[in-house]
Structure 1
Amino acid sequence: MAQRLKGRTALITGSTSNIGKAIALAFAAEGAHVVVSGRDDTRGTAVVDQIREQGGQADFARADLDGTAAASHALAEEATKLVGRIDILVNNAGIYPPSTTATTEEDTFDRVYGVNVKAPFFLTQAVVPQMIGKGGVIINLGSWIARLGIGVSSLYSSTKGAMETLTRAWAAEFGPQGIRVNAISPGVIVSPDHVGDHPGEVMMQGTPAGRSGHPDAIANAAVYLASDDAEFVHGTVIDVDGGRTGVAVIAV
């Protein structure tokens, strides 16, 4: 099988578990040298070990992306030291504390926007200069609830709406300089580690898929966007959501 990312390097935030981990494994299998990043050294090292055992290249860069420019810039610097130059950046890390508008306190608001919006903004700011003139790919993670509102996600969904808007703005800003920027909007994705019923399963009723998705579905989309197969794709949000946002299946 041709390795579509052979010879390229990739930094993936929040890649010690779930969607980020699946993307890291998929990129490595396609030949990329992956920088796994997250707050947990043990889980990060485990992902790196798994990639290396499968014949891939990977290193771990610990990072607590709290929204400060300093934290994001430090990760960019550490990742660059590990691989020399970052060709692909995946802004995946995010948090989702359950809350309603009435129950959200100011520190929670600031923390969610810090992790979900400010951190990727300043990380992109730090990485883009090394891509200019040499080419690069940025992939952001949005969410289906950025465009199909539900009553218990106003804070989180607004941050993902911001990331989808940044995707289009960055595509306009950086595209002429050889950098492709796109996003993936996952539906309900259940980690393989999850035990028992998932509260999101009910959200997939009435969709073509009729069930939640696996992290590999998101990883496959990320590989496509990172590869030359998507060389003519700019500023797009790819829905990988089992049809949740675009289709209603009516039972007769």
Structure 2
Amino acid sequence: MTMRLTGRTALVTGATSNIGRAIAEAFAAEGAHVVVSGRSGVRGAEVVEGIRSRGGRADFVRADLDGSAAASRALAEEATRVLGGRIDVLVNNAGIYPADTTTATDEKTFDQVYAVNVKAPFFLTAAVAPAMAEAGGGAIVNLGSWIARLGIPVGALYSSTKGAVETLTRAWAAEFGPRGVRVNAISPGVVLAADAEDAGLAEVMMKGTPAGRMGTPDEIASAAVYLAADESSFVHGIVLDVDGGRTTAAVIAA
């Protein structure tokens, strides 16, 4: 590793599994002190133990980001305390994905998905970005999704929340960029650990793409490191597609 994040502090939400975990591990490997945040204390402890066993710095802060401003503020305050007084990098990764059709989605589910996927990162960013600016700058990385721009017949609710996150990315870049806080997003393609239960279905969804395979959490984490590090100092308000070409090239079914 090149230790591109040495001396930095980072808060990664939804960091106890899949993409969030990979980002937390990659940040720690690059020298950052990372707060691993999520709902499961057991899984959080496992991630932290793994990072520490490899010589990295990490702590777990439990958070149930239910969309309330209070929950987001509480996480920001505790993570700031654990990280010694500042957060240099925020990764808004936590989210939920119900794959229902529109007609099968009830109002309670609608409200819950928007609360977790949009309201929670909105109020967390509101709590963290001003402090970053006051400290001299920082970086925020949001997680979008390829289905925010390429329609599929299920998951309309989820895709609309990711569209909102990608729009917020551009708005926040305009709002906070002049104050030294860079805001960008990653739009992953179909990404699962190779041993995931539904990995077979994921592979089918990537057939005919330039990559011809699903992505791995580590590949998304590499993009997050880039957006958090100094190499991307002139990058503001982008949505970086890391999707194996799923949204940029015609998919020819094999």
Structure 1 residues 171 and 196 mapped into 2: Cα distance closer, same or farther (>3 Å)?
closer
Q: Matched residues in 1 for 2:96 and 2:227: separation?
A: 23
Aligned to 1:160: 162
Q: Name 1:40's counterpart in structure 2.
A: 40
- Give, as a single letter, the amino acid of the residue that structure 2 aligns with 1:209: A
Q: Match of 1:81, SS?
A: helix
Deviates more, 1:195-204 or 1:150-159: 195-204
Is the 1:147–1:161 Cα contact (8 Å) retained in structure 2? Answer: yes
Distance (Å, rounded) in 2 between the aligned partners of 1:146 and 1:2? 33
Greater alpha carbon shift after TM alignment, 167-176 vs 132-141: 132-141
Aligned AA (2:131)? Q
Q: Pick which of 114-123 and 186-195 moved more.
A: 186-195
Instruction: Return the alpha-carbon distance in structure 1 between the equivalents of residues 216 and 242 of structure 2.
Output: 10
- Alignment partner, residue 71 of structure 1: 71
Say whether the 8 Å CA contact 1:18–1:192 is kept in structure 2: no
The match for 1:209 is 211
Indicate conservation of the 8 Å contact 1:36/1:44, yes or no: yes
TM-score (norm 2): 0.96
Q: What amino acid is the match of 1:122?
A: F
The residue that corresponds to 2:97 in the other structure is: 96
When structure 1 is superposed on structure 2, of 217-226 and 186-195 the one drifting more is 186-195
Match of 1:121 in 2: 122
Given that residues 38 and 61 in structure 2 are in contact (C-alpha distance below 8 angstroms), is that contact kept between their aligned partners in structure 1?
yes
CA shift in 2, pair 1:66/1:251, >3 Å: closer
User: How far apart in 1 are the matches of 2:81 and 2:28?
Assistant: 18
| 1:116-142 deviation per Cα after TM superposition (whole angstroms, max 9, x unaligned) | 000000000111121114101000000
Q: In the TM superposition, what is the alpha-carbon distance from 1:195 to its structure 2 partner?
A: 3.3
Say whether the 8 Å CA contact 1:190–1:198 is kept in structure 2: no
SS in structure 1 of the partner of residue 212 of structure 2: coil
Normalization by structure 1: what TM-score? Answer: 0.97
Q: Which residue of 2 is the match for residue 31 of structure 1? A: 31
* Deviation by residue 1:34-92 (Cα, 9 ceiling, x = unmatched): 00000000000110010000000000000000000011100001101101200000000
Q: Separation in 1 of the partners of 2:130 and 2:211?
A: 41
Give ranges in structure 2 of 5+ residues lacking alignment. none
- In structure 2, the CA distance between the partners of 1:196 and 1:119, relative to structure 1 (3 Å rule), is closer
Shift of 1:196: 5.7
Distance 1:2 1:184 in 2: 21
For residues 113 and 97 of structure 2, the distance between their equivalents in structure 1, rounded to whole angstroms, comes to 7
Large movers: runs of 4+ above 6 Å? none
What residue identity is the alignment partner of 2:77? E
Amino acid at match of 2:41: D
Question: Shift of the alpha carbon at 1:26?
Answer: 0.2
Structure 1 spans left out of the alignment, 5+ residues: none
Query: CA–CA distance in 1 between the matches of 2:194 and 2:208?
Result: 23
Residue 194 (structure 1) aligns with = 196
Task: Give, in whole Å, the separation in 1 of the partners of 2:75 and 2:225.
Answer: 22
Corresponding residue for 1:147? Answer: 149
1:118 aligned partner, one-letter code: K
**Structure 1 residues 78, 102: closer, same or farther in 2, change over 3 A?**
same
Deviations 1:123-177 (A, max 9, x none): 0011112111410100000000000000101100000000000000000000000
| 2:171 aligned partner | 169
2:9 is aligned with 1:4: no
CA distance in 1: counterparts of 2:249 and 2:214, whole angstroms: 15
2:7 aligned partner, one-letter code: G
Change (3 A) 1:196 1:118: closer
Match for 1:79: what amino acid?
A
